[in-house]
Amino acid sequence: MALGLSLIFGVLKLVNFAHGESLMVGGYLYYFLATSYLVHALGVPLIAALAAAAPVLFFFGVVLEKLFLRQAYQQKTARYDEYVVLVTFALGIFLQNLALPLFGPYNRQAPAIFKGRIRIGDLIIAGDRLTGAAIAFVVIGLLFFFLYRTYLGKGLRAVAQNPGAAAILGINVARMRGIAFGTGICLSGIAGSLLGPIFLVNPVMGVPFAVKAFVIVVLGGMGSIKGTIAGAFVLALVESFGSIWLPDPTRALAYKDAYGLLLLVITLLFRPQGLFGEKVRRV
């Protein structure tokens, strides 16, 4: 999820406050595909439902970018930064309140791609969590291959570095931005599909994960894909070891989310550009 947020900021230079709701859309989309008649009657594997959800999420993101954001960075709206904050925040509220009457406030348990447990010595790993981690690593590998080994990915990186120079070289900047936003929404939706079997699918499921995604992106460096991955590992370690260090284990987990916010404050105070971000000096 954080990778999608970082990619959108890196290319479009905007913060998507509706990113958590795209995770929710992905969770519901996978749930209905995985519980559909086609999957049960024909015995289609659940991994196919995840694969089918990805292009739908991508085009959903492309449509959102074209309808609500493209006119902003094409200088058709005044006060671009304020517009982006308001429109993405309003879009998140709209998607939440659209999901409530459509699907209800009830929790839904999405079927896991791999059920059961795996025992490694005294360590027991649930199959849905192991599957989610494995697919996440595959998605990260595919994203790096796309960005660094394909012409389209190199075009995205060129627009992220200098959109004016990219346009001079013949790159369609508007098209690249649409692809970047669609890819970011797709990554967030895939995260929702993987989290659906582990947690419960509901209209507000994306809110806590969106907070963690913002912490990770700021920690790693806004727009840095490698920094986002490093920031995710750092946040996971801080939350895990922070729960161990407290003397009362029954209360330690209650403060787990606070460790990430504390880490965010420390990062903004001492290294606001993040671990892999570049320091910018305004003149």
Q: What is the pLDDT along the chain (283 residues), one digit of tens a residue?
A: 899 999 999 998 888 999 999 999 999 999 999 988 777 777 788 898 899 999 999 999 999 999 988 887 776 666 777 888 899 999 999 999 999 999 988 899 888 888 878 887 777 888 888 889 999 999 999 999 999 999 999 999 999 999 999 999 999 999 999 999 999 999 999 999 999 988 889 999 999 999 999 999 988 888 888 999 999 999 988 888 877 776 666 666 777 888 888 888 888 888 888 877 666 555 4
**Residue 262 is which amino acid?**
L
Contact 50, 193 (CB under 8 A): yes
pLDDT recorded at residue 250? 66
Query: Where does the chain have alpha helices with state H?
Result: 2-12, 19-34, 37-42, 46-64, 70-71, 80-103, 127-149, 151-161, 163-168, 173-195, 206-220, 225-245, 249-252, 256-270
Round to the nearest angstrom and report the end-to-end CA distance of the chain: 34
Tokens 């649930």, residue? 126
The residues, ordered by sequence, that sit 6+ positions from 221 with a Cβ below 8 Å of its Cβ are 227, 228, 231, 273, 274, 275, 276, 277, 278
Paired strand residues for 119: 124
Rounded CA-CA distance 2/209 in Å is 9
What is the per-residue pLDDT for 248?
65
pLDDT for 201 equals 94
Q: What is the pLDDT of residue 154?
A: 94
Query: How confident is the model at residue 157, as a pLDDT?
Result: 94
How far is residue 5's CA from residue 209's CA, in Å, rounded to a whole number? 12
Tell me, what's the pLDDT at 156? 95
Q: Would you state the pLDDT for residue 80?
A: 77
**Would you kindly state where each structural domain of the chain is located, as residue ranges?**
1-203, 204-282
User: What's the confidence (pLDDT) of residue 252?
Assistant: 67
